[in-house]
C-alpha cells in the first residue's frame, strides 16, 4: 500500500473525490499498466481521522482501547479501595452524625456535607494524578523508548489539552460523588438513641462488612483478569523470543543508504555499490558483506505476482503473490541464510542476461514437491521495479532454493520469498549487511566511516544491527507485556491492600470474641485459621469469578497475540498462583498478629 496526501479543491466533497478516484482506478484496470493490479483502488481518509498512518491505525486503535480498558480497571480497583475506606470512615462517624441529627440537622444537609468531602477528595486525587502524568510524560519524551512500526514519541501528540483536562475533572468528580453516596446514605440513617448509647459499633454492622466484602471480591476478580492478560502477553513475548527467524543468527551490522538516480546512471550505480562492498569487506572484523534492496521480513514489504504452469492461483486472484527481495551474490552468506539447492547469483547474471531468481523452500515444496525446483520457470507480472527481461519475456528461471525465512514474528507462516539479483533489478535504496566477529554496533559505525571516507556525500539513511531489526516485530508483544505487567502489579497491590484492610477491620470487630476464645484455651494456630478462614473464602470467590471473566476477556486479545492461545494454561495458572499467594498472605498476617495478643489486655481494652 502506498500513501499520499491530497487537498480537496474549494467546494469539493469527500464523496466527489472518491467518485473521481474510482474512475481513475477503472481506467487503470482497463489499461493494465505495469505496477497496477486489477482490482486495486484508492481509499480516501480525512487527515482528521488518521493517527499515524491508515495502514497501522487499526492496530494503534486496538492497543489504545486495550490500554483504556486496563487503565479503567485499575481506576476501578482504586475506587473500590477508596469506597472501602469511606465505609470504614462512615462507621467511625456514626456517633457524630447521630449527635448532629439529635441537635436538629437535616439528613439532606448531612448527605450534602459528606458528598462535598468525598468529591473534594476525588478532585484532589485527580489533580495529583495530572501533576504526576505531566511529569511522567516529560520523562517519557526524553527517553529512547522504541515504538513499533517505526513510530517515534515525537510523532505522537502526548500533550494535555482541554479534552483530557475535562475528562480527568469529570472522572474525579464522578468517582468522588458516587463513592461517597452509599457511605453517606448509610451513615445518616442510624437509630439515633441506640447509636448514642453505644461507644463503638462493634461487630454489629453486617451491612458494612458485607459491602466491604463485595468490594474485595471485585478487586480480586479484576486483579486476576489483569494478571491473566499480563501472563498471556509475557507468554507471547517468550514465544517470539524462541522463534528462529532464519537469518541474522550471528552478530551482524547494517547500514542503509540511498544511491539517487539523479546522481548516477544505472551502470554507475552498480560500480558505486561494488566499490562500497569492496571497502566494507576490507574492514577488520568483517566476515562477509552483502546488500539488499529490501531486507526480507524486516524491510519495506514488496511483492511479486507470478504464475506457474500447471497450477491455478487461489480463488479470486489472478496470480500467486510472494515477498521479493533484491540481493547480491554474497547476501545469503552475510545474512546467514543457507542455500539448500542450486547456486547463488553470480557475475553471469548481468543486466543483459535472461532473468533469474532464487526461491524459498516453501515455494519449491508447493509447486515442485518432487524436489526438482532448480531450472523451473515462473511467469511474473512486470512492474517498474521488476521490468521485463532484455528478450521481452516476463520469465524467471530458478537457479537456486534458499532456506525459509520464518515470518512467525509477524504472525504469519514461513514467508514465500523470491530473491532477484541486484545486477538485473537495480534499487536506489540499499541496505548493506556485514556479518562480523566484533561488536555489531561498533561495526555499524565503522561502516559509516568507511563509506564516508570513500564518498563524503554518502547518503546514510540509518545504521543498526540485524538483531535490532529483528527485534522490531517483537516490540508490540514486548511493550504489551511490560505495560500490562506494570498495571497488573499495581492492581494486585491495590487488591491486597483492600483485602488486608477488610481482614484487619473484621478482626478488630471480633477482638472480644478472640480474647474469650484464647482465655478458654484456644491455641494461636487455631485462632489464626479461624480468623483467616473467612477471608480466604473471599479469595476463593474472587479467584473463581476472575477465572470465568478472564476466559471471556482473553478472547478479545487474540488479534494481539502471536503463537499463543488465549487459554494458555501457564498464563492462567501463573496468574492464579500469584494472586492466591499474595492474597493468602494478606489474610494470614493480621490473623497471626491478633492470635498473639494478650487476652487480658484485649478484654480490658474492649
**Domain-embedded: residue 147:** yes
Please tell me whether residues 181 and 222 are part of one structural domain: yes
SS3 assignment, position 401? strand
**Domain-embedded: residue 184:** yes
Q: Enter the C-alpha cell of residue 298.
A: 524486516
Please tell me whether residues 422 and 284 are part of one structural domain: yes
**Domain-embedded: residue 4:** no
**Domain-embedded: residue 54:** no
Q: Rounded distance, CA 562 to CA 473, Å?
A: 11
Contacts 24+ apart (CB under 8 A), 30-37: 34/381, 34/382, 34/383, 34/384, 34/387, 35/383, 35/384, 35/385, 37/305, 37/318, 37/381
Contacts 24+ apart (CB under 8 A), 142-150: 146/471, 146/472, 146/475, 147/475, 147/479, 148/56, 148/59, 148/472, 148/475, 148/476, 148/479, 149/52, 149/53, 149/56, 149/59, 150/472
pLDDT band at 276 (very low <50, low <70, confident <90, very high): very high
User: For position 452, what pLDDT does the model report?
Assistant: 93
Q: Rounded distance, CA 247 to CA 296, Å?
A: 9
Last residue of a domain, one of 474, 507, 540: 474
Please tell me whether residues 72 and 163 are part of one structural domain: yes
**Domain-embedded: residue 541:** yes
Please tell me whether residues 464 and 482 are part of one structural domain: no
Please tell me whether residues 34 and 79 are part of one structural domain: no
Q: Is 292 left (phi over 0), alpha (psi -120 to 50) or beta?
A: beta
Whether 61 has a pLDDT exceeding 80, the answer reads no
CB 419 within 8 A of CB 327: yes
User: For position 204, what pLDDT does the model report?
Assistant: 43
User: For position 155, what pLDDT does the model report?
Assistant: 60
pLDDT band at 32 (very low <50, low <70, confident <90, very high): low
Reported as type and span, the H/E element at residue 583 is helix 569-595
Q: Rounded distance, CA 81 to CA 555, Å?
A: 28
Q: pLDDT exceeding 70 applies to what percent of the chain?
A: 82
**Domain-embedded: residue 146:** yes
Average pLDDT rounded to a whole number, residues 176-181: 78
Q: Which ranges constitute the DSSP H helices of 282-390?
A: 331-335, 361-367
Q: Enter the C-alpha cell of residue 159.
A: 500533550
**Domain-embedded: residue 9:** no
Last residue of a domain, one of 430, 455, 474: 474
User: For position 600, what pLDDT does the model report?
Assistant: 63
User: For position 446, what pLDDT does the model report?
Assistant: 94
- The more confident residue out of 482 and 206 is 482
Mean pLDDT of all residues in the chain? 80
Please tell me whether residues 412 and 526 are part of one structural domain: no
Number of domains into which the chain is organized = 3
- The more confident residue out of 441 and 470 is 441
Average pLDDT rounded to a whole number, residues 139-144: 69
**Domain-embedded: residue 364:** yes
Residue 560: domain span = 66-243+478-605
Please tell me whether residues 593 and 510 are part of one structural domain: yes
What is the bridge-based pairing of β-strands 395-402 and 459-465? unpaired
Please tell me whether residues 81 and 191 are part of one structural domain: yes
Please tell me whether residues 470 and 492 are part of one structural domain: no
The model's pLDDT over 530-576, given as tens digits with 9 standing for 90+, comes to 777 777 888 888 889 989 998 888 888 777 777 788 889 999 999 99
b/e burial code for range 99-110 (CB count within 10 A of at least 16 → b): ebbeeeeeeeeb
Last residue of a domain, one of 415, 449, 474: 474
User: For position 286, what pLDDT does the model report?
Assistant: 94
Please tell me whether residues 258 and 349 are part of one structural domain: yes
The model's pLDDT over 508-521, given as tens digits with 9 standing for 90+, comes to 767 777 777 777 77
- The more confident residue out of 374 and 534 is 374
The model's pLDDT over 66-101, given as tens digits with 9 standing for 90+, comes to 778 888 888 888 887 777 777 767 666 777 777 777
Please tell me whether residues 230 and 312 are part of one structural domain: no
pLDDT band at 209 (very low <50, low <70, confident <90, very high): low
Please tell me whether residues 468 and 488 are part of one structural domain: no
Amino acid at each position: 500500500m502506498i500513501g499520499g496526501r491530497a487537498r480537496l479543491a474549494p467546494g469539493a466533497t469527500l464523496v466527489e473525490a472518491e467518485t473521481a478516484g474510482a474512475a481513475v482506478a477503472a481506467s487503470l484496470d482497463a489499461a493494465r499498466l505495469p505496477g497496477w493490479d486489477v482490482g486495486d483502488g484508492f481509499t480516501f481518509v480525512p487527515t482528521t481521522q488518521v493517527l499515524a498512518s491508515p495502514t497501522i491505525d487499526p492496530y494503534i486503535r486496538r492497543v489504545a482501547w486495550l490500554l483504556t480498558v486496563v487503565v479503567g480497571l485499575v481506576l476501578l480497583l482504586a475506587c473500590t479501595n477508596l469506597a472501602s475506606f469511606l465505609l470504614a470512615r462512615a462507621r467511625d462517624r456514626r456517633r457524630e452524625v447521630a449527635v448532629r441529627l439529635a441537635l436538629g440537622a437535616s439528613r439532606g444537609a448531612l448527605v450534602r456535607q459528606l458528598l462535598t468531602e468525598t468529591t473534594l477528595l476525588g478532585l484532589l486525587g485527580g489533580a495529583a494524578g495530572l501533576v504526576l502524568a505531566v511529569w511522567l510524560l516529560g520523562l517519557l519524551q526524553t527517553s529512547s523508548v522504541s515504538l513499533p512500526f517505526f513510530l517515534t514519541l515525537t510523532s505522537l501528540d502526548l500533550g494535555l489539552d482541554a479534552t483530557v483536562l475535562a475528562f480527568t475533572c469529570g472522572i474525579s468528580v464522578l468517582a468522588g460523588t458516587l463513592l461517597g453516596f452509599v457511605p453517606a446514605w448509610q451513615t445518616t440513617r442510624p437509630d439515633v438513641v441506640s447509636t448514642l448509647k453505644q461507644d463503638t459499633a462493634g461487630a454489629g454492622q453486617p451491612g458494612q462488612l458485607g459491602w466491604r466484602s463485595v468490594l474485595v471480591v471485585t478487586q480480586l476478580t479484576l486483579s486476576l483478569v489483569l494478571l491473566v492478560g499480563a501472563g498471556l502477553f509475557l507468554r507471547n513475548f517468550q514465544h517470539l523470543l524462541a522463534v528462529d527467524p532464519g537469518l541474522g543468527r550471528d552478530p551482524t551490522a547494517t547500514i542503509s543508504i540511498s544511491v539517487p538516480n539523479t546522481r548516477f546512471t544505472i551502470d554507475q550505480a552498480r560500480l558505486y555499490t561494488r566499490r562500497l562492498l569492496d571497502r566494507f569487506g576490507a574492514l577488520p572484523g568483517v566476515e562477509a558483506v552483502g546488500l539488499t534492496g529490501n531486507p526480507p521480513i524486516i524491510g519495506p514489504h514488496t511483492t511479486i505476482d507470478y504464475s506457474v504452469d500447471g497450477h491455478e492461483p487461489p480463488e479470486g486472484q489472478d496470480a500467486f503473490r510472494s515477498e521479493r527481495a533484491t540481493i547480491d551474490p554474497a547476501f545469503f552468506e552475510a545474512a546467514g541464510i543457507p542455500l539448500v539447492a542450486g547456486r547463488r547469483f553470480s557475475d553471469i547474471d548481468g543486466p543483459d542476461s535472461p532473468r533469474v531468481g532464487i526461491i524459498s523452500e516453501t515455494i519449491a515444496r508447493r509447486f515442485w514437491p518432487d524436489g526438482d525446483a532448480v531450472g523451473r520457470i515462473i511467469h511474473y507480472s512486470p512492474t517498474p521495479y521488476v521490468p521485463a527481461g532484455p528478450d521481452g519475456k516476463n520469465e524467471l528461471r530458478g537457479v537456486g532454493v534458499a532456506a525459509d525465512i520464518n515470518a512467525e514474528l509477524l504472525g504469519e507462516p514461513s514467508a514465500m520469498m523470491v530473491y532477484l539479483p541486484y545486477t538485473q533489478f537495480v534499487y536506489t535504496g540499499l541496505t548493506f549487511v556485514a556479518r562480523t566477529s566484533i561488536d555489531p554496533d561498533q561495526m555499524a559505525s565503522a561502516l559509516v566511516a568507511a563509506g564516508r571516507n570513500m564518498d563524503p556525500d554518502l547518503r546514510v539513511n540509518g545504521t543498526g544491527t540485524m538483531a535490532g531489526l529483528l527485534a522490531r516485530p517483537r516490540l508490540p508483544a514486548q511493550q504489551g507485556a511490560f505495560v500490562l505487567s506494570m498495571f497488573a502489579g499495581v492492581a494486585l497491590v491495590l487488591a491486597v491492600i483492600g483485602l488486608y484492610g477488610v481482614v484487619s477491620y473484621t478482626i478488630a470487630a471480633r477482638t472480644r470474641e478472640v480474647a474469650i476464645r484464647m482465655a478458654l484455651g484456644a491455641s494461636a494456630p487455631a485462632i489464626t485459621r479461624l480468623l483467616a478462614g473467612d477471608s480466604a473464602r473471599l479469595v476463593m470467590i474472587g479467584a473463581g469469578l476472575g477465572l470465568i471473566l478472564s476466559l471471556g476477556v482473553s478472547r478479545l486479545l487474540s488479534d494481539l497475540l502471536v503463537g499463543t492461545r488465549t487459554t494458555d494454561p501457564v498464563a492462567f495458572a501463573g496468574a492464579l498462583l500469584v494472586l492466591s499467594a499474595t492474597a493468602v498472605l494478606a489474610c494470614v498476617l493480621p490473623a497471626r498478629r491478633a492470635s498473639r495478643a494478650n487476652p487480658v489486655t484485649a478484654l480490658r481494652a474492649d
